[in-house]
Amino acid sequence: MAHSVLWGCGRVAVVDHNANDEIWTVDSHVRQPRGDTMREHSMNHHCFFSMKAKLSAQLFGEDPWAYRFPALVFGVGTVVAIWWLVRGVENTRVAHNSALLVALSHHQVRFSQKARGYTERAFWSVLGLILSLRGVRRPTYGTWIVFGLTVAAAVFTHLTGAFFFVALGLVWLVSLATGINRDALTRARVLRPLFGVAVALALTILAYLPIFQSHFRADWGTIDTAADHGATMSQPGSVTSVVLFPNRVFRAVPQLNRDTQARLELVREFPETSGDGAVLVFRRPWPDSAVHDTCARAGLCAIRNPDPDRPCDRNGSAPRTRYNRPRWPRSRPPCPR
């Protein structure tokens, strides 16, 4: 196992090519200020890994190997975690062979030398499996709290990390439903794993909270006065309004009530639960005749632009940076005249 790990390290030391996704990650996220790094989301952005890559570059300099170094660390860590996992259920020889196979795996070597978070996600997933097996055997709060931390780390590294732990949860539910280990079934064996899941959910939500706005391409705010509503409706682009307690809101903002009859379309209505408890969801389609003149004067993109605050070029197309892949077609109609 040691020889194979060292061989992988040697591969990392000599490879010095820049893949497109690595360049995009480094330029769009890792090199940005710390606050901006965690406020922008894309599937190319492995959030937790980007934080470590940024720290590595600050410590060792902005060299390709520095950005890739965290992937190497977690790649080696995954080999060790596999050995630990197998050693808990089999003998040492089987654990050695399993770790050797992982260390020689093409994908393991490949992603251990790329500035991507896949080896980190694999590490947290294997560690979570180890903790879940230990927690089922000896259900202590400490084990399941660490399990929750591991789940949050995996999902914060990459959203697809959730699939592994959802599958793990389904296996646990099936084991309870089919009566496996029913003789040892106690209150602690049910509630403490659920406590670990609650910890994982809470930490994952907190971790992604700063980038929630960017992830869903929305700029949510609260409308309390007629001035707030007027400022919102004067902005170009589509607008979605979620109205809680509509009777009260319409009395406070009469213009909003009038706009629901003309400029806003009712998308969804959730029935009331008590008195004036209904929830109404309205959307203003775009382009909107009342604001298209403002859009034209500002030179903003008009139709289905995910970022209407970015100015179009003279052909009506959104600007493109050197490394950012375009998120919309090259040709886009200008604002209606």
Q: Encode pLDDT of 105-161 as tens digits.
A: 999 999 999 989 999 999 999 999 999 999 988 889 999 999 999 999 999 999 889
Pick the more confident residue, 115 or 209. 115
When mean pLDDT is compared across 140-149, 184-193, 284-293, the lowest value belongs to 284-293
Q: What's the rounded Cα separation, in Å, for the pair 109 and 100?
A: 12
- Give 59's pLDDT tier (boundaries 50, 70, 90): very high
Q: Residue 56's pLDDT is what?
A: 93
Q: Residue 106's pLDDT is what?
A: 92
Alpha helices, DSSP H, located in the chain: 2-14, 20-25, 34-37, 47-60, 64-87, 92-104, 106-111, 118-137, 141-157, 161-177, 187-208, 212-215, 226-233, 246-252, 254-259, 292-298
When mean pLDDT is compared across 166-175, 250-259, 277-286, the lowest value belongs to 277-286
Q: Please tell me which of 102-106, 135-139, 211-215, 332-336 the model is most confident about, judged by mean pLDDT.
A: 102-106
The pTM assigned to this predicted structure is: 0.60
27: DSSP letter: I
- Give 103's pLDDT tier (boundaries 50, 70, 90): very high
Q: What's the rounded Cα separation, in Å, for the pair 146 and 328?
A: 41
To the nearest whole number, what is the mean pLDDT of the chain?
76
Contact 264, 283 (CB under 8 A): yes
When mean pLDDT is compared across 7-11, 230-234, 271-275, the lowest value belongs to 7-11
Contact 8, 76 (CB under 8 A): yes
Whether pLDDT at 165 is above 80: yes
300: DSSP letter: B
Pick the more confident residue, 297 or 83. 83
Pick the more confident residue, 263 or 185. 263
Residue closest to 288 by CA, chosen among 234, 217, 229, 227: 234
Whether pLDDT at 262 is above 90: no
Domain ranges of the chain: 2-212, 226-284, 286-337
- Give 217's pLDDT tier (boundaries 50, 70, 90): low
Q: Encode pLDDT of 70-79 as tens digits.
A: 999 999 999 9
- Give 288's pLDDT tier (boundaries 50, 70, 90): low
Q: What's the rounded Cα separation, in Å, for the pair 52 and 316?
A: 39
Q: What's the rounded Cα separation, in Å, for the pair 316 and 310?
A: 11
Pick the more confident residue, 81 or 176. 81
Q: Please tell me which of 197-206, 207-216, 274-283, 301-310 the model is most confident about, judged by mean pLDDT.
A: 197-206
**Do you find a cis peptide bond into 64, omega within 30 degrees of 0?**
no
Q: Encode pLDDT of 46-57 as tens digits.
A: 889 988 999 999
